[in-house]
Structure 1
């Protein structure tokens, strides 16, 4: 490795992308191309970064598999930043194995961290947990240790394990301080701020109360009957009834909970659950069927009794009923939460993350664009979607596939 390549690599490790480019900007040999690609990625020029990294990988010879593996890892991180999440994980796994075989443990861990972060973006928390489980962040470069701890923190937050999340954040702060990389320190500071912002609203008669993540976790762990509109389910103590795929049942549960301790009229339930203001006998019959299904589902936590006007929720064991609402209203809250991370998402990546069809996502994006809440850049297959950052609260509970409390 010549002196300019070594100096450029040191500059990149310190987060000085411009300093790295000054040393190798006019060179086209594979090591310089790789460093230029990483520098461009740090500057946010992801398409150019990917092009340079691919040229570098092609330029390395057959005997330089370690260098090619490093290029694959860097390109995978660029693809993640571009929210291109539909590729096969085999290339990244093979690169990680090559790096381990050559005793490049830091870059091998980086590859596995990228795989775990990709799974987090897609809401596949069990896969992310499995990817993180064998990793040991100790004795690593401070910057990489900080990234590993931030990933651990996000996984804990998605599972509403606030205590372990705070512990991971403290370790990330210490590692970022040792790394002295401004961008990394800013990411840690943003993670700390997210923990302290409101994450949900507790609704009650005549008003609402903003709750932080630790307060949400405490409520969910209590004996109260919680109807959670952030994660679309009903829980009490350790029990959790997911209703994300049963929207009518969840709508009925929320309407009954908001009316508690009183009852709610049948016509109001029909309007709330079936989105119509013109009830007829068919809808009344359907309401009875759906109420029966909901009654059977939550029988251990609450009863649902008919009254002269409609129905009333009767929680077991004199439980309190709590309604948690997301910090932003609307059916597309999860979509807006994904887009508010500052990255430009493709429709296909959004569909993967939301576990929905691309056509469903396209319709939702069209509605949000008409309301001025999102905007598109590019055209055809290059089209990407952006939304302004959501300030004043954290969207962690709105991200897809978040796990209930265990």
Structure 2
């Protein structure tokens, strides 16, 4: 490798893309194209960066397996930053395997970290955690170590493990400081701020207040019967009952919890669960059926007793009852939560992250655009959606994930 390529690579490692471009901007050989692509990515021109990296991969040829694999890893990182979740994940897996085979452990570990962060973004926490556990972060340079620790912190935040999250963020901060890359420091600081923002609202005793992540963790570990409206589950310290696929039952359970220790009137339960303005005899009959189903679901946690005017919740073990709701509740809060990270998203990427159809997401985005809450730019396949961070909305790291089990 000649001296200009070496100097450009060192400049990129130090977070100086302009310094790297000064050395290789006029060169079209494969190593120079790859370095130019990475430099353009650091400068924010992701479209140009992807084009240069593809050209570099072609220029390296089929014999230079390691160099081509490194280009694929760089493309994957750009795809992650640009929220291009349709980028082929199998290509990254193949590149990682090639790097491991040729003993390029640092870049193989980086590829694994990128794959874990993608899985985290689309809510596949078990797979992300399993993949990250296979990576030894010890040999990683500071910049890549910071990325690894950010992924670990993201998983811990989603699983509501605050001590583990804070420890990972502290290690990420140390690594970013050693790396000396301003953009990396800013990313770590941005994630660290999540620990100081409300992660949920506590509704109990006729009032409500915001909860930080530590307070959420304490609530879930307490002897309180919690109706978790972030995940549509009911739990106490020992048992979790998911009603994620039973929205009517969860609506009834939440209404009963909000009225506890008193009872919930039948008219209120009908309005909340069935969205009916007035309760007629058919609604009352359906209410009796759904209450029977709710009793069966909550048999290990609570009783649902009939009263003169409605129904009342009676916990079996818990001493208190509370509702834990998202910081902000509105019809399309989950879509806005993803867009609140300040990045531009395509409708297809949002569909993958949300587990919904592309058409459903497109209709939602169009409704939000009409309300002035999101803005599109670009046309056709290049169209992206974004919004400035919305006060009160959790970022993607705080979106619902599996609850920790005792």
Give the TM-score taking structure 1 as reference length: 0.95
Mapped to 1, the partners of 2:254 and 2:65 lie a distance apart of 57
Q: C-alpha separation between the residues in 2 aligned to 1:108 and 1:212?
A: 36
Aligned counterparts, 1:46-65, within 5 A:
46-65=46-65
Whether 2:319 is the aligned partner of 1:334: answer no
The equivalent of 1:182 in structure 2 is 182
Could you tell me how far apart the structure 2 residues matched to 1:145 and 1:390 are? Answer: 30
Q: Could you tell me which residue of structure 2 aligns to residue 148 of structure 1? A: 148
Aligned CA distance change for structure 1 residues 192 and 353 (closer, same or farther; 3 Å): same
CA distance in 1, matches of 2:91, 2:318: 55
What SS does the aligned partner of 2:11 have? helix
Q: Which residue of structure 2 aligns with residue 247 of structure 1?
A: 247
Counterpart position of 2:404: 405
Could you tell me whether the CA contact under 8 Å between 1:334 and 1:398 is conserved in 2?
Answer: no
Aligned counterparts, 1:5-404, within 5 A: 5-317=5-317, 319-391=319-391, 394-395=394-395, 399-400=399-400, 402-404=401-403
After superposition, the C-alpha distances for 1:124-154 in whole angstroms (9 at most, x for unaligned) are 1111011111111113201111110110010
Aligned length in residues: 405
- Indicate conservation of the 8 Å contact 1:233/1:250, yes or no: yes
Shift of 1:223: 1.1
The answer (yes or no) to whether the contact 1:202–1:324 under 8 Å persists in 2 is yes
TM-fit CA distance, 1:367: 2.4
8 Å CA contact 1:172–1:188 kept in 2: the answer is: yes
CA contact (8 A) 2:338 2:396 kept: no
Aligned to 1:3: 3
Where do 5+ consecutive residues of structure 2 fail to align? none
Name the CA distance, whole Å, in 1 between partners of 2:129 and 2:285.
Answer: 44
1:235-280 CA-partner distances (Å, limit 9, x unpaired): 1003112222221111111111111111122121111112221333
Deviation at 1:393, TM superposition (A): 6.4
Q: CA deviation at 1:111?
A: 0.6
How far apart are the structure 2 equivalents of 1:319 and 1:130? Answer: 36
Q: Distance in 2 between matches of 1:303 and 1:176?
A: 52
Q: How far apart, CA to CA, are the structure 2 residues paired with 1:244 and 1:359?
A: 22
Would you say the 8 A contact 1:327–1:395 is kept in 2? no
Secondary structure of 1:9's partner?
Answer: helix
Cα shift at 1:232: 1.7
Q: Counterpart of 1:138 in 2: which secondary structure? A: coil
Deviates more, 1:192-201 or 1:145-154: 192-201
Please give the alpha-carbon distance, in whole angstroms, between the structure 2 residues aligned to 1:108 and 1:397.
25
How much does 1:392 deviate?
Answer: 5.7
The CA distance in 1 between the partners of 2:168 and 2:287, in whole Å, is 47
Seen in structure 2, the aligned counterparts of structure 1 residues 64 and 341 have a Cα distance that, compared at 3 Å, is same
Cα distance in 1, alignment partners of residues 398 and 189 from structure 2? 21
User: What is the rounded CA distance, in whole Å, between the counterparts of 2:198 and 2:255 in structure 1?
Assistant: 23
How far apart, in 2, do the equivalents of 1:397 and 1:106 lie? 26
Cα distance in 2 for residues equivalent to 1:300 and 1:110:
45
- TM-score (ref. length: structure 2): 0.95
